[in-house]
Structure 1
Amino acid sequence: MSTAPPFASSRPVLLPYQPRWAREFAALAQRLAPLVGSSLLRIDHIGSTAVPGLQAKDVLDVQLTVADLTQTAELTRGLTQAGFQLRAGFRYDEFGQLPAHCPDLRKLYWREPAGERRLHLHVREAGRFNTRFALLMRDYLRAQPAASQAYGRLKQRAATLFPSSIEGYLYIKAPVFELLYHAAAGWAAQTGWEPPAGAA
């Protein structure tokens, strides 16, 4: 009997890099800023659609950084009134070297208003591992085309292996991000990288 985990049936569809992704993020950031109010410290385009040249699913990943995840009433009210959908309160990112439900992995997760283009809004806390991780991985892949191309090839192979299963695709892809993280951390130490002062 197979011990492979059960995989969901939605399909991982990868597109070549689309210049419109950067424009769509810029428009979204302008829309979000007045909705979320004073609790917001910065808005960043993250994930594969934020890396020029990298193939990706047509889903914008956006990180909203706040000072305190327990003090987001204004943000929650503004996003809710605009139709954005909060998914199940606090969630946690996964990173194998940190314990599950670690405060450094906690976030709020929102989806787009009904009928709008697919979005993942990750609300994370300033100074936490997961907040820095998202920005570091984006900037490392932007700065290292060879690593970005290799990561793109792996994503394409994962999509080929699991053409009808987004969960299977993610099952293959997720551990690779932990390997990439170690290379990115070394790059950050060598270059003195810190999260950029302004949103990007």
Structure 2
Amino acid sequence: MSSSITIVRPDPTWAAQFEKTAEAVRRIVGDTVIRIDHIGSTAVPGLASKDVLDIQATVAGEPQLDDAAQLLVGADWELRPPRRDHPVPGLPPEELQWVKRLVVEPMYRRRVNLHIRVEGHANQRYALLFRDYLRAHPDTAAAYGDFKQRAAALPFDNVGDYADLKDPVCDLIYLPAEEWAARTGWKP
């Protein structure tokens, strides 16, 4: 059986939808998280995407990963795999740099992938720099959007296969983003 991935045109209301969702998440997790950020393709104006908000909740340390996740589970969010992100070539390979929790929205609510990551870890920084680099480089964002549309047309056994195909392409974007961050003084 093949899984269908649908890439939609950019929705100018995604930012407002993020704000509303972030407020709801903040009410649930309180000060367990340091910050809540809109990440992923829906956070880049003009970029086609799956109609799923990607949100990153940043916690101070590893114990808070499960604390925040359990607060959300208690509010009917669903804890899902994976429990880590893929390591990126050239970044720290230690397992702890890539640990996370992933929760998805309660049933019948706006589709959300909420990634809970530790402040200062490679995967937390990656999501923010990737987003900001694409925002600052619309031609790169357009090329990435074209790739996603072509990739979504391929047959997949599950959505994870689509994500696995995107990972190295995202890394190819991220590596020059690191150079851009150093050159511009970018900070998360």
In 2, distance between residues paired with 1:73 and 1:134?
A: 20
Determine the structure 2 residue equivalent to 1:10.
3
Q: Which runs of 5+ in 1 are unaligned?
A: 1-7, 196-200
Which TM-score applies when normalising by structure 2?
A: 0.90
Determine the structure 2 residue equivalent to 1:27.
20
**Using a 3 Å threshold, how does the CA distance of structure 1 residues 78 and 175 change in structure 2: closer, same or farther?**
same
The 5 Å alignment of 1:143-162 reads 143-162=136-155
Amino acid in the other structure paired with 1:182: L
Higher share of residues assigned helix:
2
Residue deviations 1:56-86 (CA, integer Å, cap 9, x gap)? 0011100000001213565344312321111
Amino acid in the other structure paired with 2:14: W
In 2, distance between residues paired with 1:149 and 1:132?
A: 22
In 2, distance between residues paired with 1:164 and 1:132?
A: 30
Determine the structure 2 residue equivalent to 1:198.
none
Work out whether residues 12 and 164 of structure 1, in 8 Å CA contact, stay in contact via their aligned partners in 2: no
In 2, distance between residues paired with 1:54 and 1:182?
A: 20
* Aligned counterpart for 1:93 among listed residues 73, 77, 85: 85
1:113 aligns with 2:106: yes
Q: Which runs of 5+ in 2 are unaligned?
A: none
| Worse overlay, 138-147 or 158-167 | 158-167
Identity %: 45
1:132 aligns with 2:125: yes
In 1, distance between residues paired with 2:19 and 2:175?
A: 30
In 1, distance between residues paired with 2:94 and 2:83?
A: 8
Work out whether residues 43 and 62 of structure 1, in 8 Å CA contact, stay in contact via their aligned partners in 2: yes
Residue deviations 1:104-140 (CA, integer Å, cap 9, x gap)? 0000111111121221110000010000000000000
**Using a 3 Å threshold, how does the CA distance of structure 1 residues 67 and 168 change in structure 2: closer, same or farther?**
closer
In 2, distance between residues paired with 1:27 and 1:161?
A: 33
Work out whether residues 162 and 169 of structure 1, in 8 Å CA contact, stay in contact via their aligned partners in 2: no
**Using a 3 Å threshold, how does the CA distance of structure 1 residues 126 and 163 change in structure 2: closer, same or farther?**
closer
The 5 Å alignment of 1:143-182 reads 143-162=136-155, 166-182=159-175
SS in 1 for 2:58: strand
Which TM-score applies when normalising by structure 1?
A: 0.85
User: Aligned residue pairs: how many?
Assistant: 187
In 1, distance between residues paired with 2:118 and 2:164?
A: 26
Amino acid in the other structure paired with 1:185: E
